[in-house]
């Protein structure tokens, strides 16, 4: 016969293991949340503490999705850790992006290093190297979206909260996009680039008498300081107009760089900016894109889109700030995204201008100049919590602002005449 001790010990062991398992499962159910397949966010009764670091480890936060046009079995997002002021939208159902189309993102922040700052310029670029076509899609910085692991907030704080990784997660959740490449510039980086590539000839449709020391309508020649103010200034809710100005300047800078053989400066520009601009482009990769850049200099090969008034709703935050933000219409945003992708899939013949641009590049003499840069440490700048900000230009060389000294370049036969198209982008949805 078996003794009582022989029977009781296994029984107690079984009960103990069962209790431990029950407690563990209950604790897990109180500290995690899942995004159900339909895209709706399901919270557990307890406070959700999921963070962005759980994206690759927490198996209870999985959902099927099609991100960036590439079918994936699962895509993980962290749920809100702060109660949102409005409903969290479902995961964006990605548009159909062919495998040959690359996705880049251009970002401009409002603070100097070492501070992260907010991204006041967000531009998605779709690139098709085979057809030599590109589309630029601008996203309003005050678009109210879900930031995974945090809450509903303006998209321009995603980078501030979690760097480029969290920004990519935010783009994936709200637009179905995962950028292959990114470039992030600070105010002085952008200003220095314009001064080094050359002043731009801007066609100003609407004057800005109260900004940037006054900007009149008509053709204006702008240096880096003036251009930075022109693309940064925002009055009340003119975010859409600011995006148009940013698109206009990006096109002019690109043309200024492609025309007259200035792409020969690319190695020096990269070396001068590599410790300031944040990017995952290498110099070799950029050099390999030069033939594509020359083809994109052909007018009409870059299309311009934006998430504008037809795709957003103005909404006042339910707090004492009385700040207005943009709530996106997912159906309208998806249509704009699809149009931007389709634009780079339409073949078109190249004009003879491309041959001219190639000839100009081959005729540019090599340079041996070494860029000179100062190494000042930026000092914190005060921030005032107001619904809108007015950009104030900082004089070059002021203490606490990084400065760079551009080097003069010599061309055979003197400085070539710059042929720079002017005006604002003509292709809008």
SS3 sequence, the chain? CCCHHHHHHHHHHHHHHHHHHHHHHHHHHHHCCEECCCCCEECCCCCCCCCHHHHHCCHHHEEEEEECCEEEEEEECCCCCCCCCCCCCCCCCCCCCCCCEEEEEEEEECCCCCCCCCEEEEEEEEEECCCCEEEEEEECCCEEEECCCCCEEEHHHHHHHHHHHHHHHHHHHHHCCCCCEEEEECHHHHHHHHHHHCCEEEEECCCECCCCCCECCEEEEECHHHHHHHHHCCCCCCHHHHHHHHHHHHHHHHHHHHHHHHHHHHHHHHHHHCCCCEECCCHHHHHHCHHHHHHHCCCCCEEEEECCHHHEEEEECCCCCCCEEEEECHHHHHHHHHHHHHHCCCCCCCCCHHHHHHHHHHCCCCCCCCCEECCCCCCCCCCCCCCCCCCCCCCCCCCCCCCEECCCCCCCCCCCCCCCCCCCCCCCC
- Please state at what angle helix 239-258 crosses helix 224-232, rounded to 10 degrees: 150
8 Å CB contact between 109 and 120 = yes
Q: Which of 269, 268, 264, 257 is nearest to 296 (CA)?
A: 257
Q: In this structure, what CATH number is given to the domain that contains residue 283? A: 3.40.630.190
Q: Which residues contact 329 (CB under 8 A, 6 or more apart)?
A: 311, 312, 313
8 Å CB contact between 294 and 235 = no
pLDDT of residue 317: 92
Are 13 and 143 members of one domain? no
Boundary residue ending a domain (318, 335, 369): 369
Domain membership flag for residue 71: no
Residues across the chain:
429
pLDDT of residue 295: 97
pLDDT of residue 365: 52
Are 198 and 334 members of one domain? yes
Domain membership flag for residue 227: yes
Total tally of structural domains belonging to the chain = 2
Domain membership flag for residue 310: yes
Are 12 and 141 members of one domain? no
pLDDT of residue 74: 62
Q: Which residues contact 199 (CB under 8 A, 6 or more apart)?
A: 221, 222, 223
Q: Which residues contact 189 (CB under 8 A, 6 or more apart)?
A: 273, 276, 277
Distance in angstroms between the alpha carbons of the first and the last residue of the chain: 87
Are 19 and 135 members of one domain? no
Domain membership flag for residue 73: no
pTM score over 0.95? no
Domain membership flag for residue 365: yes
pLDDT of residue 235: 79
Are 345 and 249 members of one domain? yes
Strands 133-139 and 302-306, how do they pair?
parallel
Domain span including residue 348: 89-369
Boundary residue ending a domain (318, 350, 369): 369
Domain membership flag for residue 72: no
pLDDT of residue 366: 60
Q: What is the mean pLDDT of each run of 10 residues along the chain (429 residues)?
A: 44 46 40 33 35 32 38 72 94 91 97 93 98 98 97 97 96 96 96 93 91 91 95 86 96 95 93 94 95 95 96 91 92 97 96 94 65 45 41 42 43 38 39
Are 272 and 349 members of one domain? yes
Domain membership flag for residue 81: no
8 Å CB contact between 253 and 197 = yes
Strands in 101-109's sheet, in edge-to-edge order, are 278-279, 181-185, 101-109, 119-128, 133-139, 302-306
Are 244 and 318 members of one domain? yes
Q: What is the largest CA-CA distance in the chain?
A: 111
Are 206 and 309 members of one domain? yes
Burial 101-135 (b: 16+ CB within 10 A, else e): bbbbbbbbbbbbbeebbbbbbbbbbbbbbebbbbb
Are 10 and 103 members of one domain? no
Neighbours of 25 (CB within 10 A): 10
Are 15 and 93 members of one domain? no
Domain membership flag for residue 38: no
Are 215 and 311 members of one domain? yes
pLDDT of residue 421: 41
Boundary residue ending a domain (337, 352, 369): 369
Are 193 and 305 members of one domain? yes
């Amino acid at each position: 016969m078996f003794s009582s001790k022989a029977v009781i010990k296994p029984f107690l062991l079984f009960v103990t293991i069962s209790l431990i398992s029950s407690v563990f499962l209950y604790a897990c159910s109180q500290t995690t949340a899942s995004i159900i397949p339909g895209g709706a966010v399901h919270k557990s009764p307890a406070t959700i503490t999921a963070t962005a670091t759980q994206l690759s480890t927490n198996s209870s936060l999985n959902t099927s999705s099609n991100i960036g046009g590439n079918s994936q079995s699962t895509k993980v997002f962290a749920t809100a850790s702060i109660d949102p002021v409005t409903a969290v939208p479902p995961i964006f159902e990605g548009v159909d992006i062919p495998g040959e189309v690359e996705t880049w993102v251009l970002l401009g922040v409002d603070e100097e290093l070492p501070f992260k700052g907010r991204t006041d310029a967000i531009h998605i670029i779709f690139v098709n190297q085979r057809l030599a076509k590109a589309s630029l899609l601008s996203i309003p910085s005050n678009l109210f979206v879900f930031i995974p692991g945090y809450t509903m907030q303006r998209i321009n704080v995603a980078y501030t909260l979690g760097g480029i990784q969290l920004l990519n997660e935010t783009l994936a959740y709200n637009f179905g996009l995962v950028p292959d490449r990114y470039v992030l510039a600070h105010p002085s980086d952008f200003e220095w680039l314009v001064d080094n590539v050359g002043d731009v000839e801007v066609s100003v449709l609407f004057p800005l008498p109260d900004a940037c020391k006054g900007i009149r309508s008509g053709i204006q020649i702008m240096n880096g300081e003036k251009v930075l103010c022109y693309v940064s200034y925002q009055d009340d809710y003119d975010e859409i107009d600011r995006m148009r100005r940013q698109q206009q300047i990006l096109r002019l800078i690109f043309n200024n760089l492609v025309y007259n053989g200035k792409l020969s400066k690319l190695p020096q520009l990269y070396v001068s900016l590599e410790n300031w601009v944040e990017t995952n482009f290498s110099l070799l990769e950029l050099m390999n894109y030069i033939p594509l850049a020359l083809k994109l200099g052909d007018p009409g090969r870059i299309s311009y889109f934006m998430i504008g008034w037809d795709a957003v709703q103005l909404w006042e935050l339910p707090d004492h700030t009385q700040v207005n933000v943009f709530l996106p219409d997912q159906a309208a945003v998806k249509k704009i995204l699809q149009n931007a992708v389709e634009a780079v899939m339409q073949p078109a013949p190249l004009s003879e201008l491309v041959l001219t641009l190639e000839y100009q590049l081959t005729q540019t003499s090599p340079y041996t100049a070494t860029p000179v840069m100062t190494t000042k440490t930026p000092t914190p700048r005060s921030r005032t919590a107001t619904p809108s900000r007015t950009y104030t230009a900082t004089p070059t060389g002021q203490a606490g602002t990084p400065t760079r000294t551009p080097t003069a370049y010599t061309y055979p036969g003197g400085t070539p005449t710059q042929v720079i198209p002017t005006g604002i982008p003509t292709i809008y949805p």
